[in-house]
């Protein structure tokens, strides 16, 4: 049965999560089923109205914005189904918190999670969202299949061996509305999270590769205020396969109590620490699902550079630490394994992700970001699709963008799912690459 989509408010405020983007959409529809998504998309496209799928609104960039219609897939529900091979069919609008709880109850797990479980699966995969861990690919590397609704209202299914899947797994919403994803899972595992604070900076710099390899997922946090110490190192170790700790960590006591990644903030939202083992999904994110993640009033920026350049990139950052520190809440280093997803920040190279949580001050943040893009330029940086950037760094591998453009021409020739962000950040990159 085809049910007409019910119009909703864009959001209570018309803003993204952090409040730095006021959406220009004319409204949001939330169809109750797949047929409703087909009808809404085809109807809008026929009327010449552009459509943008909207996830949980956690992107800081204007990637999700549109001057047309927003479409939420929350109406498709949140129920996960796991088959006998462990392949999980996930409704696109479900959050990682909702999906992880069901997987865990079924004895299954994902390979990794981002810092927060509040984000939608489709929205996170669409921007190449990642967690940390030398051997862990971005979250979209778990995608083994996709169902999406294209501009004509047709339902397209891409299975694991489909040649378009590496393009569609990180799609920025540019190919259509993803309605369902199939994710690889593994048997559920436990994780123990331990935090070290005020780690000597020189020793950490000497051992940086060993530090990043000290667990399944490792984050190095620093507010860049004291060059002699690094604020905190979070190590999340799988209980079924603990990695060796770097000597700089093994040789010193861990934090006596819970620690928030941002220095000086109440640690209540942080997931359990102190080396207490527990379910994967309650340790891999930094933040608990029932709390506001991070700080709430903030901006974020992140650059991906080849992991081989981790020392040089850190040294470049140290040179401008004094200039960025006044507007910085915290900086985080994570690692991401190389992948084959065309628009992913880790496409084709093992990566170190260099993240910044900023005070919500767009002017000074803009200056700091441009400075960072200047000093990181020698290391071939890519900027996170979902975060604030300075416009001088590409968002992905230009060759990946050119390949994606061919797929996009085929699936969305009329650019029914386009927006100004894609025009500026994707089309120009693909065009430049094609002309070389
Ligand atoms: C506090 C905080 C912490 C964060 N931590 C991390 C982190 O650890 N690692 C990291 O990499 N990033 C992180 N991010 C960034 C965040 O993961 C990304 O911005 C992500 O895209 C947000 O997902 P969303 O569901 O809110 O998507 P939205 O912001 O709502 O949308 C993002 C994109 O996804 C597309 N999209 C959404 N749903 C669909 C669909 N059904 N079909 C097709 N396209 C769709 C949209 O069109 C848009 O292009 C963080 C953000 C915040 C606010």
Whether the Cβ atoms of residue 317 and residue 331 lie closer than 8 Å to each other: yes
What is the value of pTM for the model shown? 0.96
The model's confidence at residue 300, banded by pLDDT at 50, 70 and 90, is: very high
The residue among 435 and 37 whose pLDDT is bigger is: 37
Q: How far is the CA of 392 from the centre of ligand 1 (A)?
A: 22
Q: How far is the CA of 124 from the centre of ligand 1 (A)?
A: 4
Supply the residue whose CA is at minimum distance from atom 53 of ligand 1. 58
Among candidates 216, 139, 219, which has minimal Cα distance to 185? 139
In the predicted structure, residue 220 carries a pLDDT above the cut 60 = yes
Architecture of domain 190-383: 2-Layer Sandwich (3.30)
Supply the residue whose CA is at minimum distance from atom 43 of ligand 1. 173
In the predicted structure, residue 12 carries a pLDDT above the cut 80 = no
The model's confidence at residue 7, banded by pLDDT at 50, 70 and 90, is: very low
| Nearest-atom index, ligand 1, CA of 173 | 44
Supply the residue whose CA is at minimum distance from atom 41 of ligand 1. 178
Q: Average pLDDT in the 167-175 region?
A: 98
Per cent of the chain over pLDDT 70 is 97
In the predicted structure, residue 71 carries a pLDDT above the cut 80 = yes
Pocket of ligand 1 (CB under 6 A): 17-18, 52-59, 63-64, 73, 92, 114-116, 119-120, 122-124, 126-127, 129-130, 172-173, 177-178, 293-294, 300, 384, 386
Choose the weakest-confidence range: 44-48, 56-60, 241-245, 426-430: 426-430
What is the per-residue pLDDT for 1?
Answer: 28
What is the per-residue pLDDT for 2?
Answer: 29
Choose the weakest-confidence range: 6-10, 114-118, 172-176, 382-386: 6-10
- Spell out the domain ranges in the chain: 7-74, 75-187, 190-383
The model's confidence at residue 13, banded by pLDDT at 50, 70 and 90, is: low
- Kindly indicate whether the domain formed by 75-187 is annotated with CATH number 3.30.70.100: no
The residue among 367 and 10 whose pLDDT is bigger is: 367
In the predicted structure, residue 432 carries a pLDDT above the cut 90 = no
Supply the residue whose CA is at minimum distance from atom 44 of ligand 1. 173
In words, the CATH class of domain 7-74 is: alpha beta
């Amino acid at each position: 049965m085809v049910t007409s989509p019910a119009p909703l408010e864009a959001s209570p405020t018309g803003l993204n999560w952090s409040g730095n983007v006021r959406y220009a959409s004319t409204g949001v529809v939330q169809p109750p089923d797949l047929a409703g998504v087909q009808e809404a998309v085809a109807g809008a496209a026929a009327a010449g109205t552009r459509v943008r799928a909207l996830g949980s609104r956690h992107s800081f960039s204007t990637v999700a914005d549109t001057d047309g219609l927003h479409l939420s897939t929350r109406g498709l529900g949140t129920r996960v189904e796991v088959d006998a091979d462990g392949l999980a069919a996930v409704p696109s609008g479900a959050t990682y918190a909702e999906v992880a709880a069901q997987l865990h109850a079924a004895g299954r797990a994902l390979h990794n999670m981002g810092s927060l479980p509040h984000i939608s699966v489709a929205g996170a995969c669409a921007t190449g969202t990642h967690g940390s861990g030398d051997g862990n690919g971005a979250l979209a590397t778990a995608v083994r299949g996709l169902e999406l609704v294209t501009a004509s209202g047709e339902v397209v299914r891409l299975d694991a061996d489909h040649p378009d899947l590496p393009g569609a797994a990180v799609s920025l919403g540019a190919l259509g509305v993803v309605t369902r994803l199939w994710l690889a899972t593994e048997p559920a595992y436990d994780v123990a999270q331990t935090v070290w604070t005020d780690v000597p900076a020189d020793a950490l710099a000497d051992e940086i590769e060993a530090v990043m390899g000290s667990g399944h997922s490792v984050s190095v946090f620093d507010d860049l205020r004291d060059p002699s110490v690094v604020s905190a190192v979070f190590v999340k170790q799988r209980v079924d396969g603990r990695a060796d700790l770097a000597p700089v960590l093994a040789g010193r006591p861990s934090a006596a109590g819970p620690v928030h990644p941002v220095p000086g903030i109440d640690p209540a939202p942080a997931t359990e620490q102190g080396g207490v083992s527990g379910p994967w999904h309650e340790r891999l994110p930094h933040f608990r699902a029932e709390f506001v993640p991070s700080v709430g009033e903030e901006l974020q920026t992140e650059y991906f550079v080849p992991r081989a350049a981790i020392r040089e990139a850190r040294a470049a950052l140290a040179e401008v630490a004094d200039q960025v520190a006044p507007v910085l809440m915290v900086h985080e280093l994570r690692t991401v394994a190389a992948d084959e997803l065309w628009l992913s920040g880790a496409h084709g190279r093992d990566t170190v992700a260099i993240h910044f949580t900023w005070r919500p001050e767009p002017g000074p943040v803009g200056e700091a970001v441009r400075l960072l893009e200047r000093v990181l330029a020698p290391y071939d940086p890519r900027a996170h699709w979902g975060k604030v950037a300075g416009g001088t760094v590409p968002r992905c591998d230009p060759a990946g963008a050119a390949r994606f453009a061919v797929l996009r021409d085929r699936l969305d020739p009329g650019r029914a799912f386009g927006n100004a962000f894609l025009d500026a950040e994707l089309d120009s990159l693909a065009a430049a690459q094609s002309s070389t």
